[in-house]
């Protein structure tokens, strides 16, 4: 990741310690309000069951990523999982959610056969029930590709892309629920409350929350 190496190749690079002993590159340094009210609480909310699946995570928040019009990028090195998120024209809350979505993508790469099989079965049940909405824009776009034609529905590649996007977005929303109270968005493009509840229940079954308040009342 070029923009990451621009900072981490410097022997004098400085890091800020985050929960789970993860790190944040502080050049450029985010505002104290963003760190205190959004980044640190979001990271702290990640249950230990997920943290144990991931390597040391290092984050970078930058105005843009190599001048590209993308929200985030991540890669895994021998030392850590490096995640860079663009802050340009983005709200702090959305930045934290994008960071969690990247973690969800990395978690998907570490799922077991049982977890992937269960997730695909859950998605198939949603489609059979006529659920057209999704958890976020990325998953919605991938789902529409799947539903666009019979050939697309049979595409293993497109199914993998959809499963990955929907899993990552759901993992982020699961952690979001552990971070603070959330409101279910309504409308044809959004995932209805019933399917969303089943997804969160799936997450709690395979990635148990720490002891504390229930995720779903």
Mean pLDDT over all residues of the chain? 91
| DSSP letter, residue 190 | B
Cα–Cα distance measured from residue 46 to residue 210, given in angstroms and rounded to the nearest whole number: 9
Identify the DSSP state of 86: E
State the pLDDT at residue 79: 84
Q: Is the pLDDT of residue 2 over 50?
A: no
Interval 30-44 mean pLDDT:
95
Spatial distance between the Cα atoms of 74 and 105, rounded to a whole number of angstroms: 9
pLDDT in tens, 129-147: 999 999 999 999 999 999 9
Residue pLDDT, tens place only, 59-74 = 999 988 876 788 999 9
Residue 1 has pLDDT above 50, yes or no: no
pTM across the whole model:
0.92
């Amino acid at each position: 990741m070029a923009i990451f190496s621009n900072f981490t190749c410097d022997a004098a690079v400085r890091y800020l310690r985050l929960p789970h002993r993860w790190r944040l590159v502080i050049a450029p340094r985010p505002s104290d309000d963003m760190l205190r009210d959004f980044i640190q609480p979001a990271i702290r909310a990640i249950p230990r069951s997920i943290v144990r699946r991931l390597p040391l995570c290092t984050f970078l928040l930058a105005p843009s990523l190599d001048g590209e019009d993308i929200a985030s990028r991540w890669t895994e090195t021998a030392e850590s999982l490096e995640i860079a998120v663009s802050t340009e024209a983005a709200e702090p809350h959305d930045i934290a959610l994008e960071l969690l979505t990247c973690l969800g993508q990395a978690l998907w790469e570490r799922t077991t056969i049982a977890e992937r099989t269960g997730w695909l079965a859950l998605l198939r049940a949603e489609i059979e029930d006529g659920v057209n909405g999704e958890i976020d824009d990325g998953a919605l776009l991938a789902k529409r590709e799947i539903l666009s034609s019979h050939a697309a529905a049979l595409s293993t590649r497109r199914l993998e892309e959809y499963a990955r996007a929907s899993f990552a977005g759901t993992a982020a929303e699961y952690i979001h629920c552990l971070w603070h109270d959330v409101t279910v968005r309504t409308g044809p493009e959004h995932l209805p409350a019933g399917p969303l509840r089943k997804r969160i229940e799936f997450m709690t079954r395979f990635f148990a929350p720490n002891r504390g308040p229930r995720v779903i009342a």
